[in-house]
Amino acid sequence: MLLTVDDDVSVSRAVARDLRRRYGGTYRIVRAESGAQALEALREIKLRGDAVAVLLADYRMPGMNGIEFLEQAMDLFPAARRVLLTAYADTEAAIDAINVVDLDHYLLKPWDPPEEKLYPVLDALLDAWRATDHRPVAETRVVGHRWSARSYEVRDFLARNQVPYRWYLADEPEGARLLTAAGANPESLPCVITTDGSALTDPTDTELAAQVGLATAPTGDFYDLVVVGGGPAGLGAAVYGASEGLRTVLLERHATGGQAGQSSRIENYLGFPDGVSGSQLTDRARRQAVKFGAELLTAADVVTLEAAGPARRLLLADGGQIDAHTVILATGVSYRQLAAPGLTELTGRGVFYGSALTEAPSCSGQDVYVVGGANSAGQAAMYFSRHARSVTMLVRGKSLEASMSHYLIQQIAAVPTITVRVCTEVVSAQGTDHLESLVLRDNSTGQTEQVDSQWLFVFIGAAPRTDWLDGVVVRDEHGFVVAGPDLVVDGQRPSGWDLDRDPYHLESSVPGVFVAGDARAESVKRVASAVGEGAMAVALVHRYLAKR
C-alpha cells in the first residue's frame, strides 16, 4: 500500500490521483486527511497483516505535523519509505526530519509535472523497498508469571536488544497451550520459545542471546581495540574505531544502550530537536557500528583485565579471553539500590531500577511512584504519565532545580497527573508475591504514611561498574576510574607506569587502557559528552599505537 496524508482536501485528492495513475495497478492507494486518521488506517492495515511501502505526509498539518506523524508511523511500519511534502519555507524542517525520522526524501509543493518531480522519486523508493524482505517478523514467545522477577529480566533483555517477542501469562489459555506444546514444567518458568520452535526453560542471558541470534563469541583472538560496555560512550568508540580502520570488538554484558538506552525520551541531544527515545538512538548507533565492521557481542561479561606483555588481555565470565593492543573502558554506571526493608525481596516484582519500559502498559490506570530527582527520573515520570492514573515523584531534596534540566521541570509541571513530593523518601515496602504498599516519610516533619501501589521505579544516583578493575587501575573512593592529568600527583606518575611520558587525557594508570563516559572520575553525566569521550578515546588510541 501507498498512504498519503494531507489536511488540505484538494491537495490530498491530487496526490492520491497522481499515485493511482501511476501505481494503482500494483498498489492500493490509501488517503487520509489528518495524522490521527492516517495512524488509525495504519493500525487497521497492521492488524490485517498487510504491508505499507511508502508514506507521504504533508508537513503543515494541525494537531500533528508530518514529522510527528512519520515518527509514530515508524513504530507500525519501520520498513516503509518516508516522504515529506513541504513548502519552500519548510525546507529546514524537512532537513531536520532526516535525523528525526530517517526521512528518505522531501518534495516541494507543487510537484507538477509528476512525471518529472514525483514519479522518479517514488520509483526509486519502491525499487529499494521491494529489494528488502517484508515478510512478517517472526516473534520469540515468552511464557511466564506476571510477578516473576526472572520473567521480567528475560523480557527486558529481549526488548533492549531489539528482539521482537510476544508475552503470554502461564495461567491464561494461550500461555498454557504453549507450555504444553513445549513440554515445559509450569514450575520452572519463564519458558522462551524461539522463532525456530526451540524451547528454553529459565535460560541464562548467554543461552538466550545465542538462541535468538545475538552474537556472543568473537570471530578472532586478537584485536586493535576492545571496547568494554555498550552505552553511548562505548557505541561512540566502536563507531569511530571501526570507521577509522581499527579491528574493533565491543563487549556488552546485558544490552547496548546503557542507561541512555532505557530512556523514554532524550530531548537535549544535539541534532534531535523533537527528541529521540533511548532505544531509537541505541538502535541507530548499533547499526552504524556494525556497518563500519565493528563486532558487537552480547552477554559478554568481563571479569578481569591484565597486561600480557605489549597486549591487554580481557578474561570473560564464561572462561573465554580476548587480547588486544588497546582497551577502552566504557562500563558506565548502574542505579544505586534503595536500602529500605522489603525492597530487595520485591525487586523485579513491582520494584524496578531504571525505566523498565516493558512494564509501562501494565501500569495503565494505576498509581506509580518514581524515586529520584534527576533527568532520568523526570523522563520516566513523563513516560509513565501516559499510561498510569497518577505518577508521584519522591524527591529527597528540597526541589528539582538542583538536579534536573529546566525544560524537564517545566514539562512535569504542565502534566496534572504528576505530583512532586520533595523531602520525601521510601522507608519500607510490603507485599507477598509482589509490591502492594509503601511507607513514605516526610523528612521535613518526620511523619510517615502508608500508600497503596504496585509500581515503584528507582533512579537514585550512580555506582560505577568497575569492581572487576579493583587493584588493576587507579580508582577514586567512589570507584570511578581516574585518568589523564589526574593521575599525576605532585609531578609523580602512577605506580607501575613504565613509559617516559605522562598518561594521555583519557588514559588510565595502565598504558593503552582508556576510559570514557560515566565510569570516568569527574565526567559529565550526559549522553553527548559520553559519545564525545568515546570518539576522543579512539583518537588517543591512534596516538598510543603510533608511538608504541
CATH entry 3.50.50.60 includes domain 351-460: yes
Distance of CA 146 to the CA centre of its chain: 23
Domain limits, the chain? 2-130, 140-203, 222-334+463-546, 351-460
Count of other CB atoms within 10 angstroms of residue 497: 18
What percent of the chain lies above the pLDDT cut of 90? Answer: 65
Of the candidate CATH numbers 3.30.565.10, 3.40.30.10, 3.50.50.60, 3.40.1390.20, the domain formed by 140-203 belongs to 3.40.30.10
Judge whether 140-203 and 222-334+463-546 match in fold. Answer: no
Residue-wise pLDDT for 109-161, tens only, equals 778 888 988 999 999 999 989 887 565 556 888 999 988 999 999 999 998 89
Asked if CATH classification 3.30.1360.40 holds for the domain at 222-334+463-546, the reply, yes or no, is no
pLDDT tens digits along 58-108: 988 888 988 889 888 887 788 899 998 887 666 677 677 776 677 888 888
Residue 428 grid cell: 519500607
For a pLDDT cut of 70, what percent of the chain falls above it?
96
| 49 pLDDT tier (thresholds 50, 70, 90) | low
pLDDT of residue 378: 93
Of 171-180, 297-306, 342-351, minimum mean pLDDT range: 171-180
> What single-letter amino acid sits at 352?
F
pLDDT for 368:
96
| 369 contacts 377 by C-beta, under 8 angstroms | no
Residue 451 has a pLDDT of 96
Q: Which three cell numbers stand for residue 278?
A: 533511548
Q: Find the range with the poorest average confidence among 200-204, 277-281, 441-445.
A: 277-281
Whole-number pLDDT of residue 145: 92
Mean pLDDT of the chain: 90
State yes or no: pLDDT of 525 exceeds 90.
no
The tens digit of pLDDT for each residue in 432-468 reads 989 999 999 999 999 999 999 999 999 987 789 999 9
Task: Give yes or no for residue 514 having a pLDDT over 60.
Answer: yes
Q: Tell me: the pLDDT tens digits for 359-402?
A: 878 888 999 999 999 998 999 999 899 889 999 999 999 999 98
User: Residue 174 — pLDDT band, cuts 50, 70, 90?
Assistant: confident
CATH classification (class only), 2-130: alpha beta
Predicted confidence band of residue 354 (pLDDT cuts 50, 70, 90): confident
Residue 88 has what pLDDT? 65
Per-position DSSP letters for 393-458, written without gaps between them: EEESSS-STTTS-HHHHHHHHT-TTEEEEESEEEEEEE-SSS--EEEEEETTT--EEEEE-SEEEE
Beta bridge partners of 439: 428, 450
